[in-house]
Amino acid sequence: MKRLEKLYEGKAKILYATDNPDLLIQYFKDEATAFDGKKKGIIKEKGILNNKISSRIFQYLEDKGIPTHFVERPSDREMAVKKMQIIPIEVVVRNIAAGSLAKRMGVEEGTPLKKTILEFYYKSDPLGDPMINDYHIEAFGLAQKFEADVLKEMALEINGYLSKFFDERGITLVDFKLEFGRHKGQILLGDEITPDGCRLWDKQTKEKMDKDRFRRDMGKIEEAYQEVCRKVLE
């Protein structure tokens, strides 16, 4: 497979065409952003670590029967993925109150939830990813009703597998964001699953091991990503 022209550059990744019309290369950068790109920085080797972490997790989910866009990891920063039509919805799954939910509901970070929460956001940088619900999805034609139902079902199933995966490695999966796309009539999990888009807390010490360390200037960011990578690859 040969890497061809750049198709799209996002905040953390670049998408390239390949000589296979069904496949793209997703290239992982070290750039980190937060608060809709208002905060910018570099997390050294993040691209390499996130590619390793995400590849391992996609492989694990595939083994459990979850269809993903993952094909292979041909190099340190490159992931070969199936070409998808992106569904412009970010699905956030929350097991414990943190971040924007804790703020919105006026509770402390770490407050347990009686039930897992699913949230939808409209994927739009200029609008700052506004929160939406099932009605907005249908009314604005972002996805069909049956597709929204599939996203919910897949997100909850993925949450079950990932919560167990991280728990076995001494990490609590607090919340995370998923993106999906359409490929040959099937809905696939896309994007990445990394400490950029998950809240991961050390089970014993509750120490943060994710991008909140960057968002909140907590230091030891590279170390946290390396530790997650080491545990994920166990």
Decide if 175 contacts 163 (C-beta within 8 A).
no
Q: Residue 47 binds which entry of ligand TMP, ligand ASP, none, with Cβ cut-offs from 5 to 8 Å by kind?
A: none
For residue 137 the two structure tokens come to 């999805």
Q: DSSP for 49-107?
A: HHHHHHHHHHHHHHHTT--BSEEEEEETTEEEEE--EEEEEEEEEEEE--HHHHHHHT-
How many residues in the shown chain lie near ligand TMP by CB under 6 A?
Answer: 12
- Does residue 82 interact with ligand TMP by CB under 6 A? no
* Cα–Cα distance, 134 to 207 (Å, whole number): 34
Provide the mask over 144-173, with x wherever binding to ligand TMP is found by CB under 6 A and - wherever it is not: ------------------------------
Shortest separation between residue 129's beta carbon and ligand TMP, angstroms: 5
Residue 219 contacts which entry, ligand TMP, ligand ASP, none (Cβ below 5-8 A, type-dependent): none
Instruction: Decide: is 69 part of the binding site for ligand TMP (CB under 6 A).
Output: no
Nearer to ligand TMP, 17 or 107 (CB): 107
Q: If we measure between CA atoms, which residue out of 11, 14, 62, 6 comes closest to residue 196? A: 11
Phi-psi sector, 104: left (phi>0), alpha (psi -120 to 50), beta: alpha
Binding flag, residue 195, ligand TMP (CB under 6 A): no
Rule CB under 6 A: say whether 179 interacts with ligand TMP: no
Comparing every residue's Cβ against ligand TMP, the nearest one is 99
3-state helix, strand and coil shares in percent for the chain, rounded to the nearest 5: 30, 35, 35
User: Taking CB within 5 to 8 Å according to partner kind, which of ligand TMP, ligand ASP, none is near residue 198?
Assistant: ligand TMP
- Pick 12 or 80: Cβ nearer ligand ASP: 12
Q: Among residue numbers 27 through 46, which ones bind ligand TMP (CB under 6 A)?
A: none
Residue 129 DSSP symbol: -
Residues 195 and 177: their CA atoms lie apart, in Å, by 10
The residues of the shown chain that bind ligand TMP, judged by CB under 6 A, are 92, 98-101, 129, 175-177, 197-199
